[in-house]
Every structure is written in C-alpha cells, then in structure tokens.
Structure 1
Amino acid sequence: MKTHQIEIQKFKAAANNIHGQVLFKVDALLSTREPLEGMEPSSMLVMTEQNARVLMALLKTQLAEFDSKKPKSRHGRHG
C-alpha cells in the first residue's frame, strides 16, 4: 500500500451524494510518506486548527442535510 501525507491548504466546498457519501473539494499538498518501522503503514491527513474548525462546520452542515432527508419516525420515544 502506498502511503501519503495529505496537507489541507483550504476547504472549498462540501456536498452529499446519492451514495451516502460526503464529498469535499479541497486545495491540498500530497507527498509520499515512508512507512515507519514497526508501525502499520497509513496515510496522514494534516491541517491547521483553522481548517479543522472549517471541517467541523462543513461536517455539521452535511450531517444535518443527511438527517433532513431521513423519514421522521411517527412514534414518540417511550421512556
């Protein structure tokens, strides 16, 4: 498996698709990453705190959009 470091420069947009996926349009730097000895090879996603906050806001919006498309239960919760 090839491993990469993906450094987010800017989140540009987010959307949901019909397959239940959230899509992000981003500016990013991509570089290969050598696996570290004794560790499972994996790619690394890197971003600033500001971009992490943007990601959180975009995720909340996209999750709310998913929730708004789900049918509402006709039965109240019983406690």
Structure 2
Amino acid sequence: MKTHQIEIQKFKAATNSSHGTVSFKVDCLLSPRAVPDGLEPASVLTMSEANARVLMALLKKQLADFDGRKARSQR
C-alpha cells in the first residue's frame, strides 16, 4: 500500500451525484510518506483552520442537497 502526505491548499468546488457520492475539486500538494516501523500505514490529510472551515461549509451544503432530493416521507 502506498501512503501519502496530502496538504490541501485550496478548495475550489464541491458536487454530489445521484449515486450518493460527493466530489471536491482541490489544489493540493501530494508527497510520498514513509511509514515508521510498528505503525499502521495510512495517508495523512492536512489543512489549515480556514480550509477546514471551508470544508465544513461545503459538506453542509452538499448534505442539504442530498436531503432536498429525498421524498418528504424519508426526511
């Protein structure tokens, strides 16, 4: 398994599909990450507080869009 360090620079857009997936367009830096001995391999996503707030707002919008497509009986 390859592991990476992913640093979000900027969120550009978010969209969702009728299949229940959310996609984000981002500017990011991607570099390989060495896994220290004894630790489980994992990729790491890092971002600033400002980008974390943008991510939260985008997620709330996309989840509201999903809920808007559901029938009233499913809300």
TM range (shorter): over 0.9
TM-score normalised by the chain length of structure 2: 0.94
Identical positions, percent: 68
Structure 2 counterparts to residues 1-79 of structure 1, below 5 A: 1-73=1-73
Q: Deviations 1:12-48 (Å, cap 9, x if unpaired)?
A: 0000012210000000000000112111100000000
| Aligned Cα root-mean-square deviation (Å) | 1.1
**1:77 match:** none
Matched residue count: 74
How far apart are the structure 1 equivalents of 2:47 and 2:61?
A: 20
Q: SS of the residue aligned with 1:73?
A: helix
Which runs of 5 or more residues in structure 2 are unaligned? Answer: none
Give the superposition deviation at 1:73.
1.1
Q: Which has the larger radius of gyration?
A: 1
